[in-house]
Structure 1
Amino acid sequence: MLIDPPPGEYRAYLFDCDGTVADSMPLHYDAWRQALAEWGCAFPEELFYAWGGRPVADIIASLNGMNGLTMPVARVARRREELFQRMLPRIRAVPEALEHIEDAYGRVPFAVVSGSTRESVTASLTVLGLLDRFEVLVCAGDYARPKPHPEAFLRAAELLGVAPEHCLVFEDTDLGIRAATAAGMNSVRIPQHRPAPPPLPAA
């Protein structure tokens, strides 16, 4: 069943990718955990989800600062991407976003606005068979200021030729919702599909 958006005259849909279109967040976390373990760096799951939407390089730099480490940003990012790519056959679409894509495709143009690399976004959408649905991809490296700054969403609106007030954003993170609001856009919150915690041991 479609999630009802706020009232408005929408001429473009802007989607986050990971956790919104692609149910990829658990896979990304596995890739992060494995890549960082090679450097003796922990990444608590709650922090990973709290930082959803941040670019990879920013996350590595922040982890370095928090843990007193000097992990090489580019090297760790490449390793994380390599591990994620191996997991891609397990990826699935998020039903709530897929329904909107199938319902509105051909009526309004779509863009992806992501903190992930273009390589990662393209790979995920290709596996899902959705890459051709999106006229515009705005990914890490295409903007200077990441979410919650509105720059990435405003860039997507500009590329689509649609005024911000006529764009509807689909997001799963607080950072993304804040960025959409700062851009003057209405938004739909996609519920996060997080793995269930392991059962408690028997008493």
Structure 2
Amino acid sequence: MYERYAGLIFDMDGTILDTEPTHLIAWRDVLGRYGMRFDEHAMAALNGSPTWRIAQAVIELNQATLDPHQLAREKTDAVKAILLDTVRPLPLIDVVKEWHGRRPMAVGTGSESAMAEALLTHLGLRQYFTAVVAADHVAQHKPAPDTFLLCAELMDVPAQQCVVFEDADFGIQAAKSAGMDVVDVRLL
């Protein structure tokens, strides 16, 4: 099905790994400490964004005066405490395994690199990917194309010959801006 592509790029959270429930638990825990609330649907609209950007939106919603980077670090720490024990691969991982060794593949994620590397390694999936490009590897995050363009560069594949698998509107926009085809995994 993907023979015409020279490289395959996968978003991580919600695309190849079922991390969403764990992220919500961590947000509830951290925000509860400050008496803040969040709208799950509004937060889902920010999927693919770096954690600090989501923290900034939550802070604005609650009219708080917290540092979004500090709040993001607290949330990341909360996730790390529970994530490795709770995350499981999603069915799309079968595509990764099927194409391993046949095409270069990369992960392009809005998560921080330490988290992405730890999860992929813990689940025995890291060896499938030529590169992992995370939020701390690019200056402009999804919906900007930088994440996916760097994936293509590290795979040594022209952007126009890549397909991106995504579950978030920001990521789909980023893939299209990069000149790549995109598979919206929510429709699979």
Q: What TM-score do you get using the length of structure 2 for normalisation?
A: 0.92
Structure 1 portions without partners, runs of 5+: 193-203
Structure 2 residue 15 is matched with structure 1 residue 20: yes
Partner residue of 2:180 out of 175, 185, 188? 185
Could you tell me how far 1:63 is from its partner in structure 2? 2.0
Could you tell me how far 1:141 is from its partner in structure 2? 1.6
Structure 2 residue 104 is matched with structure 1 residue 93: no
Q: How many residues align?
A: 186
Partner residue of 1:46 out of 41, 45, 56? 41
Higher helix share: 2
| Alignment check: 8 A CA contact 2:17 2:87 kept | yes
Could you list the per-position Cα deviations for residues 172-191 of structure 1 after superposition, in whole angstroms to 9, with x for gaps in the alignment? 11111111111111111112
Could you tell me how far 1:80 is from its partner in structure 2? 1.1
Question: Which structure: larger Rg?
Answer: 1
Q: Aligned equivalents of 1:79 and 1:63: distance in 2? A: 14
Paired letter, 1:89: D
Q: Aligned equivalents of 1:126 and 1:159: distance in 2? A: 19
SS in 2 for 1:141: helix
| Alignment check: 8 A CA contact 2:23 2:79 kept | yes
CA-atom RMSD, angstroms? 1.6
| Alignment check: 8 A CA contact 1:138 1:155 kept | yes
Structure 2 portions without partners, runs of 5+: none
Equivalent residue number for residue 102 of structure 2: 107
Q: How do 1:124-203 residues align onto structure 2 when only pairs under 5 Å count? A: 124-191=119-186
Task: Indicate the percent of aligned positions where both proteins have the same amino acid.
Answer: 36
Equivalent residue number for residue 199 of structure 1: none
Q: What TM-score do you get using the length of structure 1 for normalisation?
A: 0.86
Could you tell me how far 1:56 is from its partner in structure 2? 0.7
Q: Aligned equivalents of 1:76 and 1:119: distance in 2? A: 17
